[in-house]
């Protein structure tokens, strides 16, 4: 098991706390299936679970957002709330089945 404080130091700990607070405010459980990390490219601190749709992340500027990633094509969509992300996922499923708008555009172009 990796020590939490080997991964998160300084302001990253504060950003992780904001992610945890956002997840709890959304009514999500944090358990053994939950993981956290720092995105090497963006510097965003993220928190995700196998049991959740998407993940919550906090930017270097301390902005908290939710990210939905299409399981088919990898396209990412950002939202201001967990509820908005769930609404998006539901709408995508109703429109395209297991695909998202980006998948559908790629399929139509081929």
pLDDT in tens, 31-62: 999 999 999 999 999 999 999 989 999 999 99
Give the E-state strand segments of 3-107 in sequence order. 34-38, 45-49, 55-58, 64-69, 76-79
- pTM score: 0.86
pLDDT of residue 1: 46
CB atoms inside a 10 Å sphere around CB 9: 10
The full length of the chain comes to 110
Among residues of the chain, what percentage have pLDDT more than 70? 93
pLDDT of residue 96: 80
Mean pLDDT of the chain: 90
Regions of the chain with pLDDT less than 50 = 1
CB atoms inside a 10 Å sphere around CB 106: 14
């Amino acid at each position: 098991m990796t020590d939490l404080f080997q991964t998160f130091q300084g302001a990253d700990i504060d950003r992780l706390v904001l992610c945890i607070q956002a997840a709890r405010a959304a009514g999500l459980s944090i358990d053994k299936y939950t993981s956290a990390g720092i995105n090497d490219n963006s510097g965003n601190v993220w928190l995700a679970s196998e049991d959740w749709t998407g993940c919550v992340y906090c930017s270097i500027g301390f902005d908290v957002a939710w990210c939905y990633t299409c399981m088919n094509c990898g396209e990412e969509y950002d939202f201001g709330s967990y509820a908005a992300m769930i609404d998006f996922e539901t709408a995508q499923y109703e429109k395209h089945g297991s695909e998202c708008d980006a998948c559908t555009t790629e399929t139509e172009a081929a």
